[in-house]
């Protein structure tokens, strides 16, 4: 197996993972998906580190990846605790909800024109009503418990 | 005919274009088109990479790499965050396979156990607590097309330029490679995990202790954050605040 080609290809795979994670971090609005994308960027870096470690015949790269794993676990624990708290306060996971977060006497810097959902595109399909709606029987309502 | 560099830049741009077509505001048809474009772009990029020598190594590496990058793209474009997390777990399995292929057996297993086993499962727990009914409008809409086009252009340039630089320095890599015997004496030693543990607990002992402390601090911090929030909500309820925010 050609070591130079293995290094080259692994670095490319690491770069692709990093780039895709970066796109996701910028493009998505769901806080948890953004966090997943940050983890994906860490994975891209880990792939590159292991490849360089093998190329230099040194354990340093793998050591660094072990510590990356540790820090990623800490980060996930703390981040998810924060997300649960933020979800309790806002009711959703949208990052734009928190764009007004600032110190007390600071001027608001708001993103205008945050895309909202098109109401017309979200109409759900409806079944056409068929038959005749039966008339309510007043006698039955007297003795029948509410269903 | 295109030069080698134009091939690399072009394939990166095509792949990014496909990714852009698949990103949130698109409908089903655009996403299918984007899937085809992104797959052809990635395939084009991979076809320009140097071979590993034996067909078995090539087949193993490229199938793992294709699975990893496809799952990574699916993580980013999925509307439902639960699917995102599951695709991310698949991408982690691919990464673990690449680690194993490079002889980092311990890391391959650790990635599966720690990442796919613990972190992704925690993500799924929180997702199901926070968003039990699948997609929300912010997952379907995103930031709009212009933002996502800019967001895709930037990584396309990064990947394309990196590919160009790597292909020009491949000859330098060839000169610096360790021989099989040298590798077998160190990184690819038969007792890989014993060697790894030896290095970890001698050269990096302080770092191990620090990492342990960091884990403890993170644990306490996570509990403190949720406990404080609960106390505040309880206080608000008992004092008749009513409003949730």
Q: What is the mean pLDDT of chain B?
A: 86
Q: Does B58 touch chain A (CB under 8 A)?
A: no
A4: nearest CB among B57, B142, B177: B177
A28: nearest CB among B68, B76, B114: B76
Asked whether residue A140 is domain-assigned, the answer is no
Residues 75-94 of A with CB under 8 A from B: 75-78, 80-85, 87-90, 92-94
Question: Does the beta-carbon distance from B177 to A3 stay under 8 Å?
Answer: yes
Residue in chain B lying closest to A79 (CA): B222
Give CA–CA dist B99/A60, Å, rounded. 15
Q: Out of B44-58, B62-76, B183-197, pick the least confident.
A: B183-197
B215: nearest CB among A70, A96, A116: A70
Confidence check: pLDDT of B243 > 50: no
Closest CA to B84 of B158, B22, B147: B22
Confidence check: pLDDT of B239 > 70: no
pLDDT at B185: 75
Asked whether residue A25 is domain-assigned, the answer is yes
Which DSSP string corresponds to B183-229?
HHHTTT-TTHHHHHHHHHHHTTHHHHHHHHHHHHHHHHHHHHHHHHH
Q: Give the rounded percent of residues in chain B with a pLDDT score beyond 90.
A: 38
**For residues A89 and A100, is the Cβ–Cβ distance under 8 A?**
no
pLDDT at B241: 46
Closest CA to A90 of B37, B209, B136: B136
Per the model's pLDDT, the better-predicted residue between A43 and B228 turns out to be A43
B229: nearest CB among A2, A18, A85: A85
SS3 state at A67: helix
Closest CA to A27 of B88, B185, B75, B243: B75
Task: Identify from A14, A21, A36 which residue to disrupt to test chain B contact, counting B C-beta atoms within 10 A and taking the largest count.
Answer: A36
Which DSSP string corresponds to B166-195?
HHHTHHHHHHHPPPHHHHHHTTT-TTHHHH
Q: How far is B28 from chain A (nearest CA, A)?
A: 13
Question: Does the beta-carbon distance from A27 to B142 stay under 8 Å?
Answer: yes
Handedness of CA B214, A32, A65, A52 (dihedral sign): negative
Structurally, chain A folds into a number of domains equal to 1
Asked whether residue A147 is domain-assigned, the answer is no
pLDDT band at B139 (very low <50, low <70, confident <90, very high): confident
Give CA–CA dist B126/A80, Å, rounded. 7
Asked whether residue A32 is domain-assigned, the answer is yes
Q: What is the pLDDT of residues B23-58, one digit of tens each?
A: 887 778 888 999 999 999 999 988 888 888 888 888
Give CA–CA dist A139/A62, Å, rounded. 79
**For residues A57 and B108, is the Cβ–Cβ distance under 8 A?**
no
Most confident of A134-138, B132-136, B163-167, B240-244: B163-167
Question: Does the beta-carbon distance from A39 to B88 stay under 8 Å?
Answer: yes
Q: What's A66's domain CATH number? A: 1.10.287.3510
Chain B residues within an 8 Å CB radius of A20:
19, 69, 72-73, 75-76, 155
**For residues A21 and A44, is the Cβ–Cβ distance under 8 A?**
yes
SS3 state at A94: strand
C-alpha dihedral over A100, A101, A106, A109, to 10 degrees?
A: -40
Confidence check: pLDDT of B211 > 50: yes
pLDDT at A121: 62
Distances in whole angstroms, Cα of residue B36 to Cα of each of A28, B32, B42, B61, B144? 22, 6, 10, 22, 22
**For residues B192 and A47, is the Cβ–Cβ distance under 8 A?**
no
The two tokens of residue B9 are 């830049």
Residue in chain B lying closest to A66 (CA): B107
SS3 state at A30: strand
Asked whether residue A128 is domain-assigned, the answer is no
pLDDT at B242: 44
Can you list the residues of chain A whose pLDDT is less than 50? 147
Question: Does the beta-carbon distance from B81 to A81 stay under 8 Å?
Answer: no
Asked whether residue A145 is domain-assigned, the answer is no
Chain A residues within an 8 Å CB radius of B19:
20, 23
Asked whether residue A122 is domain-assigned, the answer is no
CB atoms under 10 Å from CB of B82, counted, come to 17
Asked whether residue A14 is domain-assigned, the answer is yes
Closest CA to B88 of A39, A26, A94: A39
The two tokens of residue B129 are 């607590």
Find the domain containing A77 and state its range.
Answer: 3-98
């Amino acid at each position: 197996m050609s070591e130079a080609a293995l290094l080259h290809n692994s670095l490319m795979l690491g770069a692709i993972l990093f780039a895709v994670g970066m796109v996701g971090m910028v493009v998505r609005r769901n806080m948890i998906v953004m966090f997943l994308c940050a983890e994906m960027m860490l994975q891209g870096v880990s792939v590159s580190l292991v490849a360089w470690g093998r190329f230099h015949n040194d354990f340093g790269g793998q050591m660094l990846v072990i510590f990356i794993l540790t820090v990623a676990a800490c980060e996930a624990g703390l981040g998810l605790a924060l997300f649960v708290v933020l979800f309790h306060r806002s009711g959703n996971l949208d990052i734009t909800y928190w764009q007004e977060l600032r110190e007390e006497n600071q001027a608001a810097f708001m993103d205008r024109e945050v895309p909202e959902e098109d109401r017309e595109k979200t109409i759900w399909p409806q079944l056409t009503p068929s038959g005749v709606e039966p008339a309510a029987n007043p006698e039955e309502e007297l003795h029948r418990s509410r269903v | 005919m295109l030069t080698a560099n134009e091939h690399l830049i072009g394939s990166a741009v095509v792949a990014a274009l496909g990714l852009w077509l698949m990103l949130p505001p698109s409908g089903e048809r655009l996403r299918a088109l984007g899937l085809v474009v992104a797959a052809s772009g990635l395939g084009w990029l991979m076809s320009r990479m140097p071979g590993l020598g034996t067909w078995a190594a090539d087949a193993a590496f490229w199938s793992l790499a294709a699975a990893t990058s496809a799952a990574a793209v699916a993580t980013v474009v999925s509307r439902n965050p639960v699917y995102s997390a599951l695709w991310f777990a698949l991408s982690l399995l691919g990464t673990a396979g690449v680690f194993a292929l490079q002889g980092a057996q311990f890391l391959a297993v650790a990635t599966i156990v720690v990442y796919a086993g613990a972190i992704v499962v925690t993500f799924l727990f929180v997702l199901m607590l926070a968003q039990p009914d699948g997609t929300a409008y912010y997952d379907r809409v995103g930031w709009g097309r212009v933002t996502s086009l800019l967001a895709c252009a930037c990584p396309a340039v990064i990947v394309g330029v990196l590919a160009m630089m790597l292909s020009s320095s491949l000859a330098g890599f060839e000169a610096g490679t360790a021989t099989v015997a040298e590798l077998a004496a160190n990184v690819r030693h038969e007792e890989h995990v014993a060697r790894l543990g030896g290095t970890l607990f001698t050269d990096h002992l302080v770092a191990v202790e620090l990492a342990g402390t960091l884990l403890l601090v993170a644990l306490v911090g996570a509990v403190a954050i949720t406990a404080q929030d609960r106390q505040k909500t309880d206080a608000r309820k008992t004092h008749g605040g009513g409003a949730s925010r």
